Structures are given as structure tokens and as C-alpha cells.
Structure 1
Amino acid sequence: MKRITFFYVFTMVLFLACSKNESEPKSYEYWNNLVNEKREEIFTLVQSVPCTVIDEFEIIKKNNYYLVHPSVKADFDNLQGELEKLEVERNAARAREGWIGDLPLTIPSHPVRKICDNGKPKLVYVKDLSIEEINAELPVRYNEINNFYKDEVCSDATQWIGRYIFSGCNVEPIAVHKTIRNEEMVSKIDIYNQMMVMKIQHEKQSCDVKGRFYKVFETKSVICKEGKPIVILE
């Protein structure tokens, strides 16, 4: 009888302990591992389609950029939905565990172009370019940025915001519309600034890169003058 009672008590204690563990919130590390596994699953999916004609692949921006073929788009969307749910859980665990502090400021990376590389779709970023390619692209991209809004009339200054691009060892103000092709323009600015940083570092120019670096994250107000957006520098 005592053995039966002991076994019963032991079983109940074990059951309650397991139930308690299952009901406790999972850790940040637990959810972060699942997030990384899901990202790897997504990467494997998009890489599963052989690449012969790169224009068949669409650049899709979620938390990252992906090259997605129409044949796997539905599966991609499903996995992205699962990933987003895992990221919500991970972020909640991070807040619950008291993770504090901001990540160091970095210029966001955007793809420069898409290519087929050994039969696989590939996104090319600034870090993948040679200094010769960067030097060739910089003047073209500079003109694109400066002429991006040449046909847009500035009538409401509150719809514009000032950003900066590197200009040698200095920075140059650029007006960006808050709603008209904003994401496209911001990505052009980021790519240009990344190229300039690589150029300055490669050429070992004697200028205050770090001091100017933080300037490109600042925003400024804009005024409209004769229909053109002018960044206020004071």
C-alpha cells in the first residue's frame, strides 16, 4: 500500500513539474533558435529553384531581401507568416528578460542588383563589389539621387524631410519626399553612402569618417522655395 501511495505521489509531483515547465514562458534563446531555423528553411526554399533567367525572380523585401520565383511564392508566403509569428514571440521574450540597449548604427543594406550565380539566384550587395565597380557606379548613382525628384513640385514642406549623403570628406543635404517613392529613394541614398564609406576606407582618405558617418542618420526640416525642396541646415 505504501509503495502504491509513494508511486502515486511521485507521479503527481512529476506531472505537476512537467505542467509547470510547459506553462512557463520560453526563453529568448529558445525562440531565437526557432527564428534562425525558419529563416534557413526560407533560404533553402528560394534557393531550390534553378536560376537561368534572373528576371523570372522577384525581389521581395520582408525583414530581409529575398529572390523568389513564382513557383514557390505561395510556400514562401506561408513560411514568412510562420517566421513573423516566431519573431513576435522572440521579441516578447527579449523584452521579458530585460534585454536593453540599441544596436550600433549601421547603414541599412539593400541589393544593388540580382544575378544568376552557378545556377542559383543571388542578390549582390555593396560589400560584394570591387572598388573599381564602386568608382564606376558612384557618379551614376549621384546623378540619380540628385535628379530623383526633379519633376516633383514642392508646395507643402511638411511632406519632405532632409537627409545627407557623403560628398568626399563632407556631407551633402538631399530632400526626400515622405510618401512619393520614399522607400526607393531611401534605398538609393543608403547604397550610395555605403559605397562612399568603402571608397573612403579603401583610399585611406584623411578625413573624419566616423564623425561624418553619424551625420547621415540625421534628418532635417525642409522649406519650399520656387517649387523646389530646400533642406534647412541651421
Structure 2
Amino acid sequence: MPQGSFFALLGASGCGKTTTLRMIAGLEEPTSGTVHLGDQDVTALPPYKRPVNTVFQSYALFPHLDIFENVAFGLRRRGIKSVRKQVGEMLELVQLGEQARKKPHQLSGGQQQRVAVARALINHPRVLLLDEPLGALDLKLRRRMQLELKRIQTEVGITFVHVTHDQEEAMTMADTVAVMNAGRVEQLGSPPTCTRTRAPRSSRTSSAPRTSSRPRSTRRPAGSWC
């Protein structure tokens, strides 16, 4: 995955894309091979020691905390007491500066999603993992948030790894797309390259039930991941 790019894992439910994301995060162990972040082998590192953060579809915001404190949570856990400037800058990045003292239930789905992104980015991870974060939004809002996520990624310059079953979403947002099927990457390239080549049938539908599928991990030279 090129450093600083927007990378999409595209495929139907059960193809292994979320398992791949979880292996990068350290939430799943690969059965073989290694996971590298740049020149660092992180295969044996626990999740909390990896320079990655994850945004899930549910967002997992703290309902009892306002937006400011939700975003500040990671900094406070690290013992940083002076957080106002960093939180303010992050809220401005996601265009929620005026919503800082609201609770999550007072925000729209798209706003909640941006809070989750801000909270994940404030610790400056090398890689941000997004597990179908737009899946709970309606079509109109989802299209708008695609552009918003791409804008944020371009501004911060961090590698984004985005899991989706929506081909249009992947082609709109990503610099590079990996089309997965049955635990394997069947196509890898820029969106125009992938659209010129017929994708596997299972990657074009989201109707199949989610099943467990562990992709095969392969050893790659240092720097070949994120």
C-alpha cells in the first residue's frame, strides 16, 4: 500500500476484507507471513502498540461525553493534560468546531462519523483503518461523506485503508483498489485499471451473508505494506 494514499479493500461479504483489516490492526493473527508498516515488522505487536487506529461502522462514540471530550479521549489516556489546541484543530479539520459541546445523540449520522474520524486521527497514527464506516448512512449522505473522507485524507496525508462492498464508493474515493474474493486479492490497481477489467462476480454484490474467511497472508519485503 503506498504510504499516504487512500487504499480500498473491495469485495462481497465473507471475502476476507475485514479479516485483512483486523490483521493490520492486530485484532487477528495471520496464519502465515508477516505484516509490515513501512520497514517495521508489527506481526507480533499487540493492537495498542501498533501505530494504527480504527473507525468502525458503529463509530463507538461515548454517549455521556460531549464531542470535545470524545475527541480528546485518546490524548487524555496518554496523560496529555493540555488538549484544547489539538482538539480544536481536529474539530476544525472535520468542520465541527461549533459542535464541540454537543452530545453524540444531538448530531446527524454524518457528523458522528466525522467525530469518530477526528478521535482516531488526533493521536497521529501512521495508518487509519475504516471498516465500512459509511454503511449505516443513507445514500445521499453516504455520497457526501465519500468526498469528505477523501478531503480529510488528502489534508492529513495519512494512509487510509477503507473496507467496502460498494464498488462505486471504492472507485470514487481510492487511489488504489484491491478487489478481494475468497480470501485472495484478485485485482490490484488504480480505479480506472480495475473498472477496465471485469471484477469477479462476488465483488459486485453485497447480498451474500457474511461468513468467516481468513485470507492467506504472504511475506512481503519491508516497506511493501502501508
Pairwise same-fold verdict (TM > 0.5):
no
TM-score for the superposition, normalised by structure 1? 0.25
TM-score for the superposition, normalised by structure 2? 0.25
Structure (1/2) with the larger helix percentage: 1
> Higher Cα Rg: structure 1 or 2?
1
